[in-house]
Structure 1
Amino acid sequence: MEHRLDTKNRDVPDEATLEVNNIGGIDETTVSFRQGVTVLSGRNATNRTSLLQAIMAALGSNQVSLKADATEGSAVLEFGDETYRRTLTRRSGTIATDGEPYLEDPELADLFAFLLESNEARQAVARGDDLRELIMRPVDTAAIKSEIEQYEQRKRNLDDQLAELDDLEGRLPDLEAKRTRVTDEIETLQAELETAQNKLEETNVDVEERREEQSELEAKLDDVRETRSEIEHTRNRIETERASIEALEEEQDEVQDTLESLSTGDETEIGRLEAEIETLQAEKADLSEEISQLQSTIQFNEQLLEEPDSFLAETNETDDGPLTDQLLGDSETVTCWTCGSSVARDQIETTIEQLRTARQERLEERSEISADLNDRRETLSNINENRTEYQQTQRRLESIADEIDRRSDRIEELTEEREALADEIDELEAEIEALETEEYSGVLDQHKEVNQLEFELERKERERDEIEDEIAETEDRLDGREGLEARREDVTDELTALRTRIDQIEANAVEAFNEHMENLLETLQYENLDRIWIDRTTREVREGRRKVSKSSFDLKIVRSTDDGAAYEDTIDHLSESEREVTGLVFALAGYLVHDVYETVPVMLLDSLEAIDAERIATLVEYFESYVPYLVVALLEEDAQAVEGGHGVITDI
């Protein structure tokens, strides 16, 4: 899995300039850095972390602190031809932000690019937290599931159309055979009609003497023919209406079954769900606010430990000397910025750890509430969808009943019309019989035969035309099969991609971590540490009332004894240096899997003191290959180990 970047060819400015006011421990400063590695070199309490926070502020992060004695601060980043501004204002004990930063949403960068000591990806590895949840947090799984449902519906529609085409294709041979049979019948009728017409012409009858009788008789015969044609037409219309009613009744049964299978839910249940959703949303919002406040407090206290001078007011002389001298005189204590009393460093460190534990508990509680909230939203959505479908189905059922009634009434009207026509034929035939004579009866029979053959021929020709129209329509629809199949293939491919997208992201994250971890361990050469990797497993878990398959990332560690025997170890037994490297590699995997370099081409590294200088240099060189801008805060002795050719900032 290769993500190595050729940053020179990327559309990223070569240089950036940052102007900072009242952020962290910085009063005012302006710095510039170029593509590649920039090292912030200095001792502790030299505002290196504060400068990284200022960069984060300009890029869009909210995980920054305002100078303790200031009410307003700012960070302005000139990046190529663009300028990004961010202001921080203290209001009612909280920090409000404004301006136009580089990022609209800093979530990805906070997780995988801004790798300060408090970075959640680094901390998750150190604490053994759920790595899968963290790497998948930026993925909108609900939107993916919704898109899957839409494509599934499209596929079902295309499948139905293709199945209908299969049925039509199966009917085509029958239609062609029927057309052949009707065509043969037409040819037979044409021959019989021609014979009957010739026979009628050859009959020796005194036309002149029978002209009046013949004229009246032929008129009656024409009337009989037309009336019989009307009866046949009426009979066909009745059959059409009956066939329509039969189809409607079948649909009525199907719609009724569908209606009975749908549940509309009662108003009490809906009201309960809406109330629970509102309560859970409020609880989640409260937890988010509490988590944000805990994070700010943690960062503030961490900075108090690292850069205590930045929180002191201007130097005030006392009998015992400057206040700063008093603070620096005892490295085991820190002066509280609020009350001025001395507090043991280990007490503050214990407090920070307690705050981190509390924040993690709130994160887990928020995750559980989110799962409950999603479950209730889904339940309510299903109920609303069922209610809508129920109402639509009920309206369709009523429409079908109305249509059946209308067509039944039409059948009654057509039946009465057919009976009236039959009575009219009876009357006409009676009149014809009265006009017949013994001498003329043969001619009458021949006229009747010719009329009947002409009527039957006309009916067959109409039937043939209808068959040919149906064949032509069927062939036209079958011509569109290739396009439908191509659309179905595209939808199927997209559906497969959507269904595997989450799985692919997880697989890519695991692959990236394992690959980079293996590469770095081979280079860093930690003693008796053979391998660290993530094992991706799947298990059945319950979400609300359903059981679903859920992946988990299990961090595996293998060490070896002096005699070469391998054994499995845990994250708790790693050295601080090994844990830090593992956390940084996990963050790098997230940076690459989520293409964070396309969103923000900057990565920040801080708090690397647990790693020895030589290994820091190797780590920086490795990360440099994947990040356009890499800004690293290092102690002076560690900075010297990083190879030359990089930008170095010592005065902040």
Structure 2
Amino acid sequence: MWDITVSNIAGIQAADATLADGLNVVQASNFMGKSSFMSALQTVMGTTGLYGDSHPLTEGATEGQVTLETADDDYEVRLRRTESGAIAREGTPVLSDETDRTCARLFAFLGENNPIRARVRNGEDITSLLQAPLDIENIDEQIATLRQQRAATERQLEEAEQAASNIPSVTEAITTLESELEELRERRDDLAERAAAESSADTAASDDIADHRSQLQATERTISRLDKQIERTETQLQSKRDELAALDIPDEPSVTADIEEKEAKIETLDLRIDLLEGLHRANQRVLEEDEVELVSSVERGLVADEIGCWVCGASTASDDIEAKLASMADQLDSLREERTALQDEIATIEARKEEIERKRRRETELEDTIGGLRADLDELRSDHQQALDRKERLTDELDALREAAAEAETEVNEELTDVKAEIRTREDELAEQRSRLDALEDQRDAADDLAERKEELDTEIRELRDRKTEKQWELKDQFDTAMTDAIERFAPGFDGARLNVKTDQRNEIEAFELVIARDGRETEIGNLSEGEQELVGILVALAGHRTFDVGERVPVVLLDGISQLSAENLRLLTEYLADTSPILVTTAYPEAGEFGGHRISPDSWRTISDGEPSTA
């Protein structure tokens, strides 16, 4: 059981009611607060203010509130009119998650102002509404981020695989260096013994010269390595600069203005089409039902009937009226084709805008990469200059050492010096190769983890893509199933309806199209009766309710603004929705008769109609 108290919400000044599990019927005549009570329920649930809706604070009131007591918790939402005239919402609603609120507004709260019902009624595109929960999840952005991570992981995996292929050659180089060092050390020991017999005075000078020669050789290797790195970095930098220069990014403001102009034209066309459709449908029905005498006088003739025009009163032939209606139908087709062409142009422009945004993101990426490469290049050039300076210094110092030791140096000492220098060079090379081997082995050992991470990313991308696609196809299947059930249950005056899907080049669904069939051929939603239009809208919303498991998110379904349905069909609809949610609340007029379930009477409520008329 739910206990709800309402103050200054829509047309209700003060009211309280109890909601029971199952069906609840707010049954009363006009101006007694039925729809306002539904607005109060939406307020405490937290869904007002979405999709162009406003918070329903009573006109003239500065504050209003709704409190809800359930078996598990208490909730309170307050509406307050600010100094600027805007209405602010405060408190703790039942639904706090954005996806839950969106699902409730679109798929559970099925009042006359339900966005899906409104778009179906007006023959507008419903794709964005049906996919709203998926858009909130930002599935496409998640996939793009995961693809970037996968690309980086693939590069690391390639490097790891390359490292594994380089290990044998590095291992062989280490073995060779160890063997050469062993021979050089044996030779050094032998020469040292011979040199000791000649003189021990030259040992220190020999060590200095050997040390300088080793440092000089290491510096020359560093310079060579830096030369290659600088060349590679300059090549990368130029490549990125060329790519950046080649990016052609059109000016977006003109594109936006173009879209706004076309959308304005579409709005004008929508108005004209709506007017013509209404006029054509009304006049066509008068002729089809042979009820001309309801609106005008008729003189039956042998060739053609003479009819008094029910607009201007002039006499005209029935054939002329039919010809005019045919001309009007042709004009409608022309306007619809023009609207479709404009919508296609807007889609093309939107694709262009998306391409512009992609190029701008790439431009930013390139600028960041260029900045990083320039910083790397500056650092490499600085290191290169330092190495050149060090080489020059070591060369001068080595020349000085050699000149000082030249006179005293014997042939043995000279050879010993060479061997010592060679040993130090080989030791440095061995240390570099061992360090390189350690790095390569670390990269190789990471390959399994990288491959596993790549598989994880592949799975995440596939699951996200499949989730979106599965939900999109489920929407179609759920609507088709609901429509089949409705045709059997309600027996409307049309054959049925279905959701057609439009796919892109990757065979991914990009749009839904509502198709209505009557008398074996497609027809417009506007050609259905008002009750049939509302039934189709409710079934579209119900498909979303089932697809996104809204019953697990939102504990109540609200049904309002369906006076177009007969009392019998309203009862059938409440029975059809009985298993959709733990609590179902609907409005009804007294003449609709008994519904069963829990009846909510507004007799004790105080509404603004008690003092002045209201639409509540």
TM-score by length of 2: 0.69
2:107 to 108, 112, 121: 112
Residue 432 of structure 1: SS of its match in structure 2?
A: coil
8 Å Cα contact 1:263-1:383 kept in structure 2 = no
1:100 to 88, 91, 94: 91
8 Å Cα contact 2:26-2:585 kept in structure 1 = yes
Q: Separation in 1 of the partners of 2:224 and 2:581?
A: 75
Q: Separation in 2 of the partners of 1:535 and 1:274?
A: 33
Distance 1:197 1:118, change over 3 A: closer
Matched, 1:176 2:171: yes
Distance 1:591 1:86, change over 3 A: farther
1:511 to 461, 469, 477: 477
Matched, 1:76 2:78: no
How big is each residue's C-alpha offset from its partner over 1:423-472, in whole Å with a ceiling of 9 and x where there is no partner?
Answer: 64355344335xxxxxxxxxx65x66566555545544443343233222
Report the alpha carbon displacement of residue 526 of structure 1 after superposing the two structures with TM: 1.5
Report the alpha carbon displacement of residue 582 of structure 1 after superposing the two structures with TM: 1.6
How big is each residue's C-alpha offset from its partner over 1:70-93, in whole Å with a ceiling of 9 and x where there is no partner?
Answer: 64573423232313133466999x
Matched, 1:121 2:116: yes
8 Å Cα contact 2:12-2:37 kept in structure 1 = yes
Q: Separation in 2 of the partners of 1:27 and 1:406?
A: 80
Q: Separation in 1 of the partners of 2:209 and 2:532?
A: 102
Q: Separation in 1 of the partners of 2:431 and 2:69?
A: 76
Report the alpha carbon displacement of residue 132 of structure 1 after superposing the two structures with TM: 0.8
- Letter of the structure 1 residue corresponding to residue 240 of structure 2: T
- Letter of the structure 2 residue corresponding to residue 179 of structure 1: I
Distance 1:83 1:473, change over 3 A: closer
Q: Separation in 2 of the partners of 1:48 and 1:466?
A: 84
2:159 to 164, 188, 192: 164
Q: Separation in 1 of the partners of 2:175 and 2:135?
A: 61
Distance 1:142 1:623, change over 3 A: closer
How big is each residue's C-alpha offset from its partner over 1:487-516, in whole Å with a ceiling of 9 and x where there is no partner?
Answer: 333333333444555544433322322232
Q: Separation in 1 of the partners of 2:347 and 2:65?
A: 34
User: Which runs of 5 or more structure 2 residues have no equivalent in the other structure?
Assistant: 268-341, 604-616
Q: Which residue matches 1:480?
A: 446
Q: Separation in 2 of the partners of 1:142 and 1:603?
A: 23
Distance 1:430 1:101, change over 3 A: closer
Taking the TM superposition and a 5 Å limit, the aligned residue runs for 1:421-570 are: 421-422=398-399, 424-425=401-402, 428-432=405-409, 445=412, 452-453=418-419, 456-457=422-423, 459-499=425-465, 502-522=468-488, 524=489, 526=491, 531-538=496-503, 551-558=510-517, 566-570=520-524
Matched, 1:85 2:67: no
Q: Separation in 2 of the partners of 1:527 and 1:482?
A: 62
TM-score by length of 1: 0.65
Q: Separation in 2 of the partners of 1:148 and 1:507?
A: 19
Matched, 1:647 2:603: no
For the pair shown, which has the larger CA radius of gyration, 1 or 2? 1
Q: Separation in 1 of the partners of 2:365 and 2:451?
A: 32
Give me the CA root mean square deviation: 4.6
Q: Separation in 2 of the partners of 1:257 and 1:142?
A: 37
8 Å Cα contact 1:132-1:506 kept in structure 2 = no
Q: Separation in 2 of the partners of 1:373 and 1:530?
A: 36
Report the alpha carbon displacement of residue 388 of structure 1 after superposing the two structures with TM: 8.3
**Farther off after superposition, 397-406 or 387-396:** 387-396
Report the alpha carbon displacement of residue 175 of structure 1 after superposing the two structures with TM: 0.8
Q: Separation in 2 of the partners of 1:246 and 1:51?
A: 77
- Letter of the structure 2 residue corresponding to residue 35 of structure 1: D
Higher relative contact order (CA 8 A, sep 6+): 2
8 Å Cα contact 2:44-2:76 kept in structure 1 = yes
Count of aligned positions: 513
2:576 to 622, 626, 631: 622
Distance 1:579 1:88, change over 3 A: same
Residue 219 of structure 2: SS of its match in structure 1?
A: helix
Taking the TM superposition and a 5 Å limit, the aligned residue runs for 1:148-163 are: 148-163=143-158
Report the alpha carbon displacement of residue 170 of structure 1 after superposing the two structures with TM: 1.2
Taking the TM superposition and a 5 Å limit, the aligned residue runs for 1:206-245 are: 214-215=198-199, 218-220=200-202, 223-224=205-206, 226-245=208-227
Report the alpha carbon displacement of residue 115 of structure 1 after superposing the two structures with TM: 1.5
Distance 1:639 1:234, change over 3 A: farther
Matched, 1:246 2:238: no
- Letter of the structure 2 residue corresponding to residue 534 of structure 1: L
Q: Separation in 2 of the partners of 1:26 and 1:118?
A: 18
How big is each residue's C-alpha offset from its partner over 1:257-307, in whole Å with a ceiling of 9 and x where there is no partner?
Answer: 3234336999xx99x959989xx9xx99xx9xxxxxxxxxxxxxxxxxxxx
Distance 1:372 1:647, change over 3 A: farther
1:50 to 22, 27, 36: 36
Residue 113 of structure 2: SS of its match in structure 1?
A: coil
Report the alpha carbon displacement of residue 130 of structure 1 after superposing the two structures with TM: 0.5
8 Å Cα contact 2:33-2:602 kept in structure 1 = no
Distance 1:145 1:613, change over 3 A: same
Report the alpha carbon displacement of residue 584 of structure 1 after superposing the two structures with TM: 0.9
Q: Separation in 1 of the partners of 2:9 and 2:492?
A: 41
- Letter of the structure 2 residue corresponding to residue 231 of structure 1: R
Report the alpha carbon displacement of residue 247 of structure 1 after superposing the two structures with TM: 0.8
User: Which runs of 5 or more structure 1 residues have no equivalent in the other structure?
Assistant: 1-14, 202-206, 288-364, 434-443, 541-546, 561-565
- Letter of the structure 2 residue corresponding to residue 538 of structure 1: T
Distance 1:49 1:228, change over 3 A: closer
Taking the TM superposition and a 5 Å limit, the aligned residue runs for 1:11-410 are: 15-60=1-46, 61-62=48-49, 63=53, 71=61, 74-80=64-70, 81-87=73-79, 96-100=87-91, 102=93, 103=95, 107-137=102-132, 139-140=134-135, 143-189=138-184, 214-215=198-199, 218-220=200-202, 223-224=205-206, 226-262=208-244, 386=363, 390=367, 393-394=370-371, 396-397=373-374, 400-401=377-378, 403-404=380-381, 406-408=383-385, 410=387
Q: Separation in 2 of the partners of 1:117 and 1:450?
A: 101
Q: Which residue matches 1:361?
A: none
Give the fraction of aligned pairs with identical amino acids, expressed as a percent: 22
Residue 510 of structure 1: SS of its match in structure 2?
A: helix
8 Å Cα contact 2:551-2:581 kept in structure 1 = yes
Q: Which residue matches 2:539?
A: 585
8 Å Cα contact 2:80-2:87 kept in structure 1 = yes
Q: Separation in 1 of the partners of 2:23 and 2:353?
A: 48
8 Å Cα contact 1:108-1:596 kept in structure 2 = yes
